[in-house]
Structure 1
């Protein structure tokens, strides 16, 4: 059976704040006592040439930056990011910065986007941003590709993702000096959409002029995504169940792996039954998302071939979503827009998205609006062709670039 991992497929794998509201009313820097300012000295550790993708037609420099950031455990760690600068001479005052936040790849170092070629869609968007005169900074996120090789990526932890972005922007600006100005925005898809919303929530850390966020199909309401995924194939044939279950289990395994960064004693057996627990423990921290999903699918296929169904196959522990460390993560640490944000936010969401179901994003937007956050919510309601997880991004790249321009012009 050809495996199509529905829940976790993203393009990236194939691909603020006022003192009282924790957001930034004007877009310019306002200190927030609940968010530590980035006062890291000499934030750039090294700059290397990035050659995996040829951007020479539109980029003056293509660099792999190793930089210092504040990690999830409140300690300074090193992380990596790509930095692309436009062709030509910077304008008076310098170029603004666009941070690109990538979708799910995994938690292992080899899954860092900077270690592979950029896919054509993302390359095309970055090219358009460079032509418009924006520097593009694309962080790998904390723990992905970091030099020590010892830190697990805290998968879907909003604060970790946000600090990965803010601190990468600060480091890039430190390197580029007068070539850039203080204005910046964040764009992200899937996990990156969640990260982009986190950047809005924690933008004051950068002490720069944050102008807004564009998030496409952002991950949120993680327990709802898992529950809806299970229900969607509960009574379906095994050939339909296996790819969905494999994707759900990959998603859950990566969450578990990420939770093991701040909680090293947390075990896969607290979340999974065997044989899923054994597979997760073997692959979640060493393979990328596609390989993990294939391992889950292969195991289920062998079981189904011998029994005719998946009845009795060990997957999730009963009520694992209520395990305290998991519950805290799905309700708090992994949930974006938990406070009011007043910098501009645009969210795109498709109706045919099976990775981040529209109901999850509807719930996110509704909850944020109740807190006073204003969101431009763009769906495919008036579009005869409905968007899935990928096309919500691909179909809207020109609009996203336009959104960025509008935000940066203010």
Structure 2
């Protein structure tokens, strides 16, 4: 559930030529090569004195990022966010600025799954995790505000796929960015992929009752919406079993009544320590031989606390502030088209402004010989966002059901 081209599922590319031990070693090596030194910015004050959501705690400039061989400059921020229970918490992120633009319009990037360890913050990765896509926005003169999600970069205890916490991280990152970088435009658009797509829809639910100024709409690509269906699918699908322990552990961080021993087999529990320091590709490699009954306990999806967590944090059932461009690849093996079809139809029934587009041949991410939805649909994403900033008609389409792959859907 990540948006990283060239990073996502990189282990799977080597599956035919490398046994599991080799894949694990290669994943660790790749993670270490891409890691940036963790600085004191990520150390939250203790105790953390209460402050408003988005209040800037500290900032630092960095020129350490390198994307497609080119340096990318950024301003890292540590800011006040909120847990799903409303507790004040420190969260990190980064603001990327287009050179030579005085008052850039803003794209907020809700990233796909990177892992749950402190080291798995995209702002601590040399390539920004999916920096190749982020630079497409910089090239258009937009600033990119990229929250890490609270726990990544800081204490390593993120409330994984918790839509309430992630929505607060999005709001806090935007507010803190305006303090760290005066002159950012008031107008902004949200872009979220996979886990970030679910986070973006969670924000859009929040936006209905607690509007954030300047919001012009959201782009979501292969969003993680029906979490129960998603976990069930990942549990049964190799090589994606490693997502399940990440989701279970992150859920337990959020809700202490969730017990991993009721969800995961002893074999899976024996490896859970890896998730504290290993990011997504490491987890996928470590768990690549475990799916189904070897990974999860019988009936784990009916465990009451875990079941409630997944249901509570699923999106697509409530009216969302829009407009929303919803993009799905029909070759996606992580978030399947069938689930996104149902989600789009459900959102349309709420009266939400949804432009649902299915694109043929696109996978979840770019890896091996496959092209991911973000890379394959980037021209559409850029055009739609550009039209929103220009005050054009993008966002007026309202489609329902499952449009034919070669069409954008029928406006009404």
Interval of TM-score (by shorter of Structure 1 and Structure 2): 0.7 to 0.9
Decide whether the 8 Å contact of 1:201 with 1:337 is kept in 2. Answer: no
The alpha carbon displacement at 1:131 in A equals: 3.2
Tell me the alpha carbon deviations over residues 21-49 of structure 1, each in whole angstroms, 9 at most, x when there is no partner. Answer: xxxxxxxxxxxxxxxxx971781111112
The answer to whether the aligner puts 1:152 opposite 2:157 as a matched pair is yes
Cα distance in 1 between the residues matched to 2:185 and 2:92: 22
Cα distance in 1 between the residues matched to 2:196 and 2:300: 25
The alpha carbon displacement at 1:371 in A equals: 1.1
- C-alpha change, 1:61 and 1:278, in structure 2 (3 Å) is closer
Structure 1, unmatched stretches of 5+, are 1-7, 16-37, 232-243, 301-309
The alpha carbon displacement at 1:170 in A equals: 0.8
Cα distance in 2 between the residues matched to 1:115 and 1:355: 25
- C-alpha change, 1:110 and 1:345, in structure 2 (3 Å) is same
Query: What is the aligned partner in structure 1 of residue 191 from structure 2?
Result: 187
The alpha carbon displacement at 1:287 in A equals: 2.0
The alpha carbon displacement at 1:53 in A equals: 1.4
The alpha carbon displacement at 1:201 in A equals: 2.0
Decide whether the 8 Å contact of 2:78 with 2:91 is kept in 1. Answer: yes
The alignment partner of 2:258 has SS state of: coil
The alignment partner of 1:79 has SS state of: strand
Query: What is the aligned partner in structure 2 of residue 131 from structure 1?
Result: 139
Decide whether the 8 Å contact of 1:214 with 1:345 is kept in 2. Answer: yes
Structure 2, unmatched stretches of 5+, are 9-49, 366-371, 392-412
Question: TM-score, normalized by length of structure 2?
Answer: 0.76
- C-alpha change, 1:156 and 1:78, in structure 2 (3 Å) is same
Tell me the alpha carbon deviations over residues 121-153 of structure 1, each in whole angstroms, 9 at most, x when there is no partner. Answer: x4343333223332210110111112xx2x511
Tell me the alpha carbon deviations over residues 29-82 of structure 1, each in whole angstroms, 9 at most, x when there is no partner. Answer: xxxxxxxxx971781111112333147999995111111112223111111111
Query: What is the aligned partner in structure 2 of residue 111 from structure 1?
Result: 120
Higher relative contact order (CA 8 A, sep 6+): 1
1:5-16, aligned counterparts within 5 Å? 10-11=3-4, 14-15=7-8
Q: Which piece of structure 1 moves more, 198-207 or 268-277?
A: 198-207
Decide whether the 8 Å contact of 2:114 with 2:122 is kept in 1. Answer: yes
Query: What is the aligned partner in structure 1 of residue 227 from structure 2?
Result: 222
The alignment partner of 1:69 has SS state of: strand
Decide whether the 8 Å contact of 1:81 with 1:168 is kept in 2. Answer: yes
- Runs (4+) of structure 1 exceeding 4 A deviation are 55-61
The alpha carbon displacement at 1:182 in A equals: 1.9
Query: What is the aligned partner in structure 1 of residue 202 from structure 2?
Result: 198
The alpha carbon displacement at 1:277 in A equals: 2.4
Aligned equivalent of 2:250, options 233, 258, 262: 258
The alignment partner of 2:247 has SS state of: helix
Query: What is the aligned partner in structure 2 of residue 304 from structure 1?
Result: none
1:11-410, aligned counterparts within 5 Å? 11=4, 14-15=7-8, 40=52, 43-54=55-66, 62-90=74-102, 94-118=103-127, 122-146=130-154, 149=155, 152-177=157-182, 179-203=183-207, 205=210, 207-229=212-234, 244-248=237-241, 250-280=242-272, 282-297=273-288, 314-333=294-313, 335-380=314-359, 383=360, 386-390=361-365, 391-410=372-391
- C-alpha change, 1:54 and 1:155, in structure 2 (3 Å) is same
The alignment partner of 1:53 has SS state of: strand
Decide whether the 8 Å contact of 1:169 with 1:206 is kept in 2. Answer: no
Tell me the alpha carbon deviations over residues 258-313 of structure 1, each in whole angstroms, 9 at most, x when there is no partner. Answer: 11223235321110122122223x22333212212222235x5xxxxxxxxx99x6
Q: Provide the aligned length of Structure 1 versus Structure 2.
A: 343
Cα distance in 2 between the residues matched to 1:226 and 1:182: 37
User: CA RMSD, aligned part only?
Assistant: 2.8
Question: TM-score, normalized by length of structure 1?
Answer: 0.76
The alpha carbon displacement at 1:156 in A equals: 0.9
